[in-house]
Amino acid sequence: MNTTHLAAVIHRYGDADVISLEQRPMPQPGPDDVLVRIHAASVNPVDWKIRKGYLKDMLPHQLPLTLGWDFAGEIVAVGTQVTGWQIGDAVFARPDIVRDGSYAEYIAVRASEIARKPASLNWQEAAAVPLVALTAWQSLFDMAQLQAGERVLIHAGAGGVGNFAIQLAKVRGAHVITTTSTANVELVKSLGADEVIDYTKQDFSTLRDLDVVFDTLGGDIQLKSLATLRRGGRIVTIASPVDAALAAQHGVTPFFCFVQPNGPQLAEIGQLADAGKLRVVIDSVFPLSEIRAAHARSETGRARGKIVIQVS
């Protein structure tokens, strides 16, 4: 086994030019870990927010830090306490965000955080799923407790999280309304949206009596969303927590989701993908050597689906 591997790391916080490709010591799996050879990873907005230092007070990272918290790959070593997994198993995961990440040739990850790679997805597609699909799952199902027949508004349906939120809400049997730009109206319809609000031409804030809003944007969008809910409705956000007093004024229950690793949930998501109920939309693919350009693409906020990193 090699003693080093190639990884994209930061030694300080800042713009994309702080990312460097370096040979780093090979990750050492603990007793509850598996060591995975990564085939593909993906970029999420949290990656560049961490890189810029926006989350340094919230997440106790040690620098230098390998970025990236989505991957698909093959197990090459198994910790002494791990059962149910073996060398050669194809897996995917959103690993612990406090540990070194997946813009790298190898990663050590807890066995509880991985799931079998869906057979119907290639490496790139599988790497695009975990963080965004778990975010949508935990927001809509664990927190908002979305039920069949309820009306849910999903903001930014063409984005990575929005893609999966639309599809999972349809699996649950909800009536899905989503916002997007003109260019992506057909995309979100193809994912199952029942109603599409083109924000360049229409104002979502005229909606009323919704059961659930999934806010992926924050700011004014979040504030305007409160009035669209019925009393007793729920708003779940991944942007910034809702003001509790405002939520109470509107008679709605607010939730804030910061996604957590979850192997069993990811296994269920994988089964839905293999059953043809979840489609993966890939915006673009970059080699690991072009990770700075991949970050620049993510920072535009215009990615349609997921940005993927081809590692090996």
Sequence-separated (6 or more) residues with CB below 8 Å from residue 133? 164, 168, 266, 269, 278
For 278-292, the pLDDT digits (tens) are 999 999 999 999 999
Distance CA 265, CA 271 (A): 10
At 282, list the tokens.
């890939």
At 286, list the tokens.
């970059």
DSSP H/E element including 40 = strand 33-43
The pLDDT, as a whole number, for residue 287 is 98
Distance CA 177, CA 194 (A): 6
Task: Provide the residue ranges of all domains of the chain, joining segments of one domain with +.
Answer: 4-129+280-310, 132-256
* Length, in residues, of the chain: 312
Residue 210 and residue 195 in contact, taking contact as beta carbons nearer than 8 Å:
no
Q: Which CATH number fits domain 4-129+280-310: 3.90.180.10, 3.40.50.720, 3.20.20.150, 3.30.420.40?
A: 3.90.180.10
Please identify every stretch of the chain with a pLDDT value under 70, giving residue numbers as ranges: none
Q: Give the burial string for 194-229 (b: 16+ CB within 10 Å, else e).
A: eebbeeeeeebeebeebbbbbbbbeeebbebbbebb
Q: Is the pTM of this model over 0.95?
A: yes
**DSSP type of residue 99:** S
Look at strands 4-10 and 19-25 and give their pairing. Answer: antiparallel
3-state secondary structure of 219: helix
In 94-246, beta strands by DSSP E: 106-110, 114-116, 151-154, 175-180, 195-198, 210-215, 229-237
The answer to whether 4-129+280-310 and 132-256 have equal CATH topology is no
Residue type, 53: G
From 1, 294, 279, 259, select the one nearest 118 (Cα to Cα). 279
Sheet holding 151-154: strands in order across? Answer: 195-198, 175-180, 151-154, 210-215, 229-237, 253-256
Q: Which fold has domain 132-256?
A: Rossmann fold (3.40.50)
110 phi/psi in degrees, rounded to 5? -65, 140
The pLDDT, as a whole number, for residue 2 is 86
For 93-108, the pLDDT digits (tens) are 999 999 999 999 999 9
